Amino acid sequence: MLKKALMVSAALGMGLGFAQQKVEIEFWSWYLSPKFDNYLKDTIKDFEAKNPNITVKWFDKQDTMVQDLIASINLGKAPDVVNLNIPDTFSAAQNGFLTDISTLTPMSELKGQFWDNPLNNFTVNGKPYGYPWYGWLNEGVMVYNSDLVKKAGYSEKTLPKTNDQLLAFAKRVKDRTGQYGWIPNFIDASGAPLWHGFFYADGLPIYDEKTGKAQFTSSKHVALLKKYVDMYKAGYFPEDMLRKEAFQLSMELYNQGKLATIVGGPQSLTRIKDANKDLYGKTRVAEAPLGKSGRSTGGGMDLVIPAASKHKKEAAMFAEFLSNNVNQMKFAKIVAIVPTSKGAEKDPFFKQESNDPIIQASGMVGASGRYIDPGFNPPKNSSVLYKNLVDNLEAAFLGKKTPKQALDDAATFWNANVNK
């Protein structure tokens, strides 16, 4: 009896010791430092205070994020929580690099914390692979330099309402002011194509979700691509559009007074305010133009847990904490993100009346988390297909292929590789 009691006591002691063992998890964010250092450091500090057995080692990755993640996994040094976007989450999940988070956090809890659309945006083959952290609407708002707009002969009432009007706007601004009017999004931070979103915006299909086969070679697709190619060749879009990530390029040129408008999420406003207060004083916001479908698309960032993480339980605790409604709302009050958490839509912050562009823009889109929808999910083998699509679109813009030839070649490659 005594022996049994001692064994139980020893087992409890071992269990207690294990429970109190310190665990360090590694967290990678993406393009958030140094701008949001204070927010992330404070949130990590708050998490560690509530979970004294867990410490968080934070790194901010930028243009090498995807390559670094793959290398770390191959070297057996995977981080525990990683901030990815929708295409890269799909690609990583399809390659078996990520953990199905419903094995760590029950679906009932995930559905209680997040809106269905943001959660579905990171669901691959029926399994959720990312905690939706924050989102945006691609056609959320139109941020504009009121001086340049006025010089081009536009007023608040005559601003473009459709994508066709936006092309005409870009042409007139360049002709009358010498500055760019607008830059279409060509590639994102990981080099994935964004331009095909214009097909979706005009109600044109991208691919058949049942077969995976490309559907972007019709005469309407070709005609739409040709409109943008002609504008690029005529100098109405900057050459860097094909090489630089869309948001970063737009921010760079807008803050230099070389771009009249940015169409997208209102998060650009914080960066304008910090970089150029005089320009911020001239900046206004309006509803964003839409394509012929009349639909607004969106995107988002999530927090994933690599399958190779050695501390999945603690990683899930941190990911849940960072993406909960309290912390998403704290983030939304610093930068105009769209929270993906339920409850954010009721926050008084989104109901304020103000002349400040950030508060106006936040009120226009901030409570729209339930509507975030990219329009279509990345296909299988997306990284390979997207690289080829970008190469072909670039060839069209550079005049190396006609728009029709570029789309035909991309579709041929797509169909041959989509199910590999």
Q: What is the dihedral sign for C-alpha 47, 50, 51, 52? A: positive
What's the alpha-carbon Rg for the chain, to the nearest Å?
23
Could you say which DSSP state residue 101 is in? G
User: What is the chain's pLDDT, residue by residue, as a tens digit (420 residues)?
Assistant: 434 443 444 444 444 444 568 999 999 999 999 999 999 999 999 999 999 999 999 999 998 998 999 999 999 999 999 999 998 999 899 899 999 999 999 999 999 999 999 999 999 999 999 999 999 887 789 999 999 999 999 999 999 999 999 999 999 999 999 999 999 988 876 666 777 788 988 999 999 988 999 999 999 999 999 999 999 999 999 999 998 888 889 999 999 999 999 998 787 898 899 999 999 999 999 989 988 988 778 889 999 999 999 999 999 999 999 999 999 999 999 988 999 999 999 999 998 989 999 999 888 888 888 888 888 888 888 888 989 999 999 999 999 999 999 999 999 999 999 988
Cα–Cα distances in Å, from 287 out to 112, 141, 146, 259, 262? Answer: 31, 5, 14, 18, 11
Cβ contacts of 216-223, under 8 Å, gap ≥ 24: 216/407, 216/410, 216/411, 217/404, 217/407, 217/408, 217/411, 221/407, 222/403, 222/404, 222/407
pLDDT computed for residue 16 by the predictor: 45
- Alpha-carbon distance of 56 to 50, in angstroms, equals 12
Q: Is the separation of the CB atoms in 301 and 83 below 8 Å?
A: yes
Torsion of CA 333, 334, 336, 341, to 10 degrees: -50
- Give kind and range of the element (H or E) at residue 39: helix 37-50
**Of the candidates 325, 127, 321, which has an alpha carbon nearest to the alpha carbon of residue 119?**
127
pLDDT computed for residue 356 by the predictor: 93
Joined tokens for residue 80: 């525990």
Residue 322 CB-half CA count within 13 A: 30
Joined tokens for residue 68: 């670094």
Torsion of CA 232, 233, 238, 240, to 10 degrees: 100
**Of the candidates 339, 342, 377, 336, which has an alpha carbon nearest to the alpha carbon of residue 359?**
336
Q: How many other C-beta atoms lie within 10 A of the C-beta of residue 415?
A: 15
Joined tokens for residue 381: 């083998």
Cα–Cα distances in Å, from 223 out to 217, 219, 252, 325, 370? Answer: 10, 6, 30, 44, 33
> Which residue ranges make up each domain of the chain?
23-136+299-371, 141-297+377-416
Superfamily for domain range 23-136+299-371: Periplasmic binding protein-like II (3.40.190.10)
- Alpha-carbon distance of 411 to 218, in angstroms, equals 11
pLDDT computed for residue 255 by the predictor: 95
Note the pTM of the prediction, 2 decimals: 0.75
The residue behind tokens 């993100």 is: 337
The residue behind tokens 């060749």 is: 233
Q: Which CATH architecture has domain 141-297+377-416?
A: 3-Layer(aba) Sandwich (3.40)
Beta strands in 210-297 (DSSP E): 261-264, 283-287
Q: How many other C-beta atoms lie within 10 A of the C-beta of residue 270?
A: 19
On the question of a common fold for 23-136+299-371 and 141-297+377-416, the answer reads yes
3 state DSSP class of 396: helix
Q: Is 31 left (phi over 0), alpha (psi -120 to 50) or beta?
A: left
